[in-house]
Amino acid sequence: MIPWLTLAIALPAVGAAVIWALPRVKAPASADTAAQAGASARADAGSGTATATRSRPAATGGAAAPAETAKRLALGFSVATLLLVAAMALNFDTSGAGGLQFEEVYPWIPYFGVHFAVGVDGISLVLVLMSVVLVPLVVLAAWNEHSDREDGGRGYFALVLALEAMMIGVFAATDVFLFYVFFEAMLIPVYFMIGRYGRGADSARAAMKFLLYSLAGGLIMLVAVIGVYVVGGTFLWTELTDPGGALAAVDPATARWLFLGFFIAFAIKAPMWPVHTWLPTAAGSSSPGTAVLLVGVLDKVGTYGMLRYCLEMFPAAVSWFVWPVVGLSLVSIVYGAILAIGQSDMMRLVAYTSVSHFGFITLGIFALTQQAQAGAALYMVNHGFATGALFLVVGFLIARRGSSRIEDYGGVQKVAPKLAGVFLVTGLAGLALPGLAPFVSEFLVFVGVYAFNPVPAVIATAGVVLAALYILWMYQRTMTGPTPEGLSGLPDLSGREMWAVAPLVALIIAFGVYPQPMLNVINPAVERTVEAEADTAVAVTDGDAEGDEE
């Protein structure tokens, strides 16, 4: 049997190691060289021919040869990983998508019962696919974004590949301890991607805030992981979710505390209100490529963890937390949308829209209906594509103007119609326009939540109305109206930039028109989760009835 998932994790990890092993040659530290590199990067943002222009001073500067090689290696390894995962997906049996496939279990630390155990069901498979699609597009979009750095951006591309390996690992892990290792290890590359390769003077502070929030949640989850092993006797997810296993028979109060330990960590990662404040700070100080991976993939680890670990390992405890989580989700939907409307910085605005969108995802997860959970799982993927594309387009604008403030733009559609058109499509996807992918997932969430209870469904519609306000108002202020003098020569999208964003636009349209292939993969896994919750509810009800009779 081909070890698909091990190869998928190892391939980008090897790529990161190869890039780090490239000879370290320092570029001259002169101001002229730095200025020339910065000017070349800005030129490349607007023309497809500037890459060759930039390579000439790089050859004399000394650092560009390894930097250019690093870019090509990063793109090559990320595309190879995409092809490998695509080949694995073609061998996925959709008729058996409710259970794990491509399972691999190897002893890792036998003394503690820890295994290197990986496998995917329909939900984790589509999240792995989303991750490997986004990474090569981020590499393309960031091709010259860090050219003015001392290393020419080589370290950034190594960090991107290292992060890709961990993202695949965290979605594929079926050993709780291994999941925790990947969950925490992801913090390292992201910290440096924000702190060292971020934007503005506050990038180091934003990286530290991200790290502290994430570490706090991770430490709480570590306590819960240890508790699961103590009461369950194993770290293997397949055994911990066994209805006849030791974890299923644990004391209800203990199960609630363990549930809470996992949930807090996932709520911070998602992020949910009120532990969301690290996201706008981190995204606002990140480069657009980093923001794509941060919001498009890493935050999904939180909602995926709720669905995979909180609901499936502690089904008896879920009923105690349904309404509190539904309430927090509604606050996230409305609060995030209102704050997005008031933002003057485009990066922070898109980050706040994600706080609102993640509220829809968690609302769908804890509605405990098949339609809502299928919509939530689909929303994770569609949000990654739509918001990822929007971050990239905003990044292209920032590279041209040198500012992320909305007030510095206007009339862009007159001078850069392709850029404005892509901006409009990705923005409309963010407000879930019918015909675009997020609409299907949002509609399923509403249908499922309404079946659960009409009240939260009605309240959540406020998020839809507010989404139209913050997206269309941002588009109006940046793309329409008179063109400021400083934007009169703004270049349109280059060929490289089109290659970076066009696949995402195509996926947004394709899954908006025909989402069934993805739903065919997701639905069996969702049915398994919903059935487990229903069986537990029946068992609890029967137990209460027997107690009343006694």
Alpha helices per DSSP H over 45-151 = 50-61, 64-90, 122-141
3-class DSSP state of 236: strand
Which H helix or E strand runs over 120? strand 114-120
Number of compact structural domains in the chain: 1
Residue 532 predicted with pLDDT over 70? no
Q: How far is CA 301 from the centre of its chain?
A: 7
404-415, pLDDT tens digit by residue? 888 888 888 888
Residue 94: per-residue pLDDT: 82
Task: With both helix axes pointing from N to C terminus, report the angle between 346-366 and 454-479 in degrees, rounded to the nearest 10.
Answer: 160
What's the CA angle centered on 471, arms 468 and 472, to 5 degrees? Answer: 75
The conformation of residue 234, written as its DSSP 8-state character, comes to -
pLDDT (tens digit, 9 = 90+) per residue, 282-322? 888 888 888 888 888 888 899 999 989 988 888 888 889 99
Which stretch of DSSP H or E encloses residue 108? strand 101-109
Mean pLDDT of 413-431: 90
Inter-residue contact 235 to 114 (CB < 8 Å) = yes
- Condensed to tens digits (0 to 9), the pLDDT of residues 99-146 reads 888 999 999 988 888 999 999 998 999 999 999 999 999 999 888 887
Mean pLDDT of the chain: 84
pLDDT per residue as tens digits for the range 220-246: 999 999 999 998 888 998 888 888 878
pLDDT grade, residue 39 (50/70/90)? very low
* Residues facing 101 on adjacent strands: 120
pTM over 0.75: yes
Residue 3 has pLDDT above 80, yes or no: yes
pLDDT on residue 286: 84
Q: Give pLDDT, residue 502.
A: 92
Query: What is the pLDDT confidence band of residue 147, given thresholds at 50, 70 and 90?
Result: confident
Count of C-beta atoms within a 10 Å radius of residue 43: 18
Nearest to 146 by CA among 202, 188, 206, 194: 194
pLDDT confidence of residue 361: 93
Residue 182 sits at the vertex; the CA angle it makes with 181 and 188, to the nearest 5 degrees, is 100
Residue type at position 528: R
Overall average pLDDT of the 394-398 stretch: 88
In three-state form (DSSP H/G/I as H, E/B as E, the rest C), the secondary structure along 476-526 is HHHHCCCCCHHHCCCCCCCHHHHHHHHHHHHHHHHHHHCCHHHHHHHHHHH
3-state secondary structure of 22: coil
Q: Are 142 and 78 in contact (CB under 8 A)?
A: no
Pairing mode, strands 101-109 and 114-120: antiparallel
Q: State the residue range of the domain holding 33.
A: 4-549
Cβ atoms of 383 and 438 within 8 Å: the answer is yes
User: What distance, in Å, lies between the first and last C-alpha atoms of the chain?
Assistant: 54
Interhelix angle 31-44/50-61, rounded to 10 degrees, is 160
Is the confidence at residue 189, as pLDDT, over 80? Answer: yes
Specify the pLDDT at position 116. Answer: 93
Whether 222 and 181 have beta carbons less than 8 Å apart is answered as: no
Q: Is the pLDDT of residue 66 over 80?
A: no
User: Measured between alpha carbons, how far is residue 68 from residues 40, 58, 461, 496 in Å?
Assistant: 14, 9, 48, 15
